[in-house]
Amino acid sequence: MGSVLKTSVLQLPQFGDDDKPSWMGDINAAFARIETANNDLVGRCNDLQGQIVTLQNRVTALESA
């Protein structure tokens, strides 16, 4: 493996021309990390959406008072 691409959420292998990655080892592991990061982001978005609805309800209640 040539190097690793690092983001704030995950690390993915970067393969060079001379590398011979395997599906079962290198590539499937990278896809698993992407899927995990995606699921975490979906969970965070759902949490934020719930917080937005709560804030909207509070604003509506204050406007009605």
| Beta strand spans in the chain (E) | 3-6, 11-14
Kindly tell me if the per-residue pLDDT of 9 is higher than 60.
Answer: yes
pTM of the model: 0.55
pLDDT for 12-65, tens place per residue?
777 777 877 776 677 788 888 888 889 999 999 999 999 999 999 999 999 998
* Boundaries of every domain in the chain: 3-64
What pLDDT does 2 receive? Answer: 57
CA distances from 49 to 18, 27, 60 (A): 46, 33, 16
